[in-house]
Amino acid sequence: MDYMKFPAVAGLALLLLSGCRGNSEPQPYFELTAAQARPLTDRTFETTHDRVARGEYLVEGLLRCFFCHSERDWDAPGAPPIEETMGAGGRVNVEDNLWLTAPNLTSDEETGIGTWSDDMLARAIREGVGHDGRVLHTSMDYGSFRRLSDEDLASVIVFLRSLPPIHNILPQTVLALDEQERLASRLNPITEPVAQRNLSDSIERGRYLAMIGNCEGCHTSWYSPRNPGLFGGGNIIERGNVRAFSTNITAHESGMLYDSAAFINTIQTGKGGTLSPLMPWAAYRNVSDEDLSAIHAFLQTMQPVTHYINNFAEPTSCPVCEQQHGLGDLNEVTRPEGVSIDPELLDDYVGAYRSMEYGFTIRVTREANQLVAQEDDGPVADLIPQSDARFLMDGGIAPVRFERDAAGMVTRLVSEEVEELVLDRVE
């Protein structure tokens, strides 16, 4: 978009003239409840040299803020943001009835964040509520940014404040009221302090970085008819008319069996510039070798998934994710191998387990010498033992394990996801 100096009201008219489809009527805002948006506080984040440096590292690296909040050079490998537009905002997507603008994050007072408070920014970045109190669209990645520690969040904001002002008027986002209502129902304010994790442990560091970089969101096939597992790839990523399937990044021959050095090289060069710009490698290449190596180490701890995908090959049908993608026909649905365990153990595990945080229940029952699990009204899946207490769920996204209390009673079912998800035994 050009940098045009028009009064703010000209934004909508301008968009219509440029031939975009959509509603010409600005949509009303859906009023958020106290459970969806917390009140703003007057906290402020002090600027320090360390924070500005850390903020710049995060924003231009793993958090890839300028991949949406700038214009991008789609002709260059990896489609990096255009230098002169860094942070000045950009259009993200146009669907029927949806205009999505990633706003100007530079310190300009009229068109940027110059007059917004620190807590307005903090709430928007981690909790998905805009400075004006409306729900933000999830393409603003607050689902993963909510994992940011308070200190990293402060660094990001302090760095944004340091961006030189660019005057850039952009059309406002328009979301239909029912869409806003749907988004609002998933909001979850943060009211407790979020401490920094232990970053000296390489796996924990990698886990944190992978979470805030949202590797899981793109590299897991959340919307396909069948989900091959966490980080197993197969998610169709689209922006405008560019489209690619994410690939399998688990430690399997069909995924990422390569070592840390090869991983760092893949990310930093975008495989010699051949990787799709939908993989934000042109931002991740700014991540340090040490951090990339921690992400690699963490990914190698995740359950390996068998799922061949290649965006250059002719699409063929894939039984593993039930979509059409390159190398799809190399895949085959196989039952994971199990070990044999004492059948008496199985009775200990029978019961219902509930996630209080996400409000769903998994029921575990025994059929002859086989444990089966069912999530609410979902399909019934076999639990295939890997050890006395750890099982693979046929068709599940991650391994599960049963845990006992001090008295030896089985009290919890833990799903080994990016962060372990604990379900408490309720019956």
Task: Report d(CA 103, CA 70) in Å as an integer.
Answer: 9
Task: Report d(CA 354, CA 411) in Å as an integer.
Answer: 11
- Contacts by residues 86-93 (CB-CB < 8 Å, ≥ 24 positions apart): 86/163, 87/160, 87/163, 87/166, 88/3, 88/112, 88/166, 88/168, 89/168, 89/170, 90/1, 90/170, 91/1, 91/170, 91/171, 92/68, 92/139, 92/239, 93/139, 93/239, 93/240
Tell me, rounded to whole angstroms, the distance of Cα 329 from its chain centroid: 28
Instruction: Check: CB of residue 99 under 8 Å from CB of residue 15.
Output: yes
102 near ligand HEC (CB under 6 A): yes
| Shortest Å, Cβ 102 to ligand HEC | 4
244 near ligand HEC (CB under 6 A): yes
Instruction: Check: CB of residue 59 under 8 Å from CB of residue 52.
Output: no
Instruction: List the one residue from 15, 125, 305, 381 that touches ligand HEC (CB under 6 A).
Output: 125
145 near ligand HEC (CB under 6 A): yes
- Measured from the CB atom, the residue of 263 and 391 that comes closer to ligand HEC is 263
230 near ligand HEC (CB under 6 A): no
Task: Return the closest-CA partner of residue 57 out of 164, 151, 159, 140.
Answer: 159
Instruction: List the one residue from 78, 80, 130, 385 that touches ligand HEC (CB under 6 A).
Output: 130
CA atoms within 13 A on the CB side of 285: 19
Instruction: List the one residue from 107, 311, 323, 331 that touches ligand HEC (CB under 6 A).
Output: 311
Instruction: List the one residue from 1, 194, 199, 237 that touches ligand HEC (CB under 6 A).
Output: 237
Instruction: List the one residue from 37, 92, 371, 410 that touches ligand HEC (CB under 6 A).
Output: 92
Instruction: Check: CB of residue 106 under 8 Å from CB of residue 164.
Output: yes
Task: Return the closest-CA partner of residue 138 out of 192, 130, 97, 148.
Answer: 130
- Measured from the CB atom, the residue of 282 and 397 that comes closer to ligand HEC is 282
412 near ligand HEC (CB under 6 A): no
- Measured from the CB atom, the residue of 268 and 365 that comes closer to ligand HEC is 268
321 near ligand HEC (CB under 6 A): no
| Shortest Å, Cβ 132 to ligand HEC | 6
| Shortest Å, Cβ 317 to ligand HEC | 19
Two structure tokens written together for 413? 């079912």
249 near ligand HEC (CB under 6 A): yes
397 near ligand HEC (CB under 6 A): no
Neighbours of 250 (CB within 10 A): 24
How far is CA 10 from each of CA 117, 131, 172, 364, rounded to the nearest angstrom? 25, 21, 11, 59
| Shortest Å, Cβ 183 to ligand HEC | 8
Which of 40-48, 197-205, 206-214, 418-426 is the region at the interface with ligand HEC (rule: CB under 6 A)? 206-214
For the segment 51-70, give every residue that binds ligand HEC (CB under 6 A).
59, 63-65, 67-69
30 near ligand HEC (CB under 6 A): no
Q: How many residues bind ligand HEC (CB under 6 A)?
A: 47
Residues that bind ligand HEC (CB under 6 A): 59, 63-65, 67-69, 92, 100, 102-103, 105, 121, 124-125, 130-131, 136-137, 139-141, 145, 156, 160, 173, 210, 213-215, 218-219, 237, 244, 246-247, 249, 256, 266, 275-276, 278-280, 284, 295, 311
